[in-house]
Amino acid sequence: MKITLEKAMEALSEFMGEQVNTIHDPVKRSVGLFVVGALKKNPEGLMSKARSWLEMAGVVSDNMVDVDVFKAGLDNIFANEPKVSYLGFGINEGEAANLVKKMMSKAQTATVTVTEVE
């Protein structure tokens, strides 16, 4: 399943917002909220740093994200690491699965919208 890069970044920023809301330390939470807000305003800022790696891995091509390849990458991470930490909080396999579901939901919503217009 493929999704536009724009929709994938939308799903990522929503997911990160949910994760940041679980941070109890007010300083780390503020930094997290800042990052999520900036990501929503300028998703290309993150993509400019990650694009070459994601393209090399086959996750991103022609401004489309292959959700199946993205999921395979996450599955490989969590087969080797039970938890990944960033911005003062961690993400586990179940939370990563929620990110993939969020992306798939965005793809299905986009498909329904296009179908309804036709």
Task: Determine the pLDDT at residue 32.
Answer: 87
CB distance 66 to 58 below 8 Å:
yes
Task: Determine the pLDDT at residue 112.
Answer: 47
CB distance 6 to 43 below 8 Å:
yes
**Chain segment 64-89, per-residue pLDDT in tens:** 999 999 999 999 999 998 888 765 66
pTM, whole model, 2 decimals? 0.78
pLDDT of 111 higher than 90: no
**Chain segment 23-67, per-residue pLDDT in tens:** 888 998 898 899 889 888 988 888 888 889 999 999 999 999 999
Task: Determine the pLDDT at residue 71.
Answer: 93
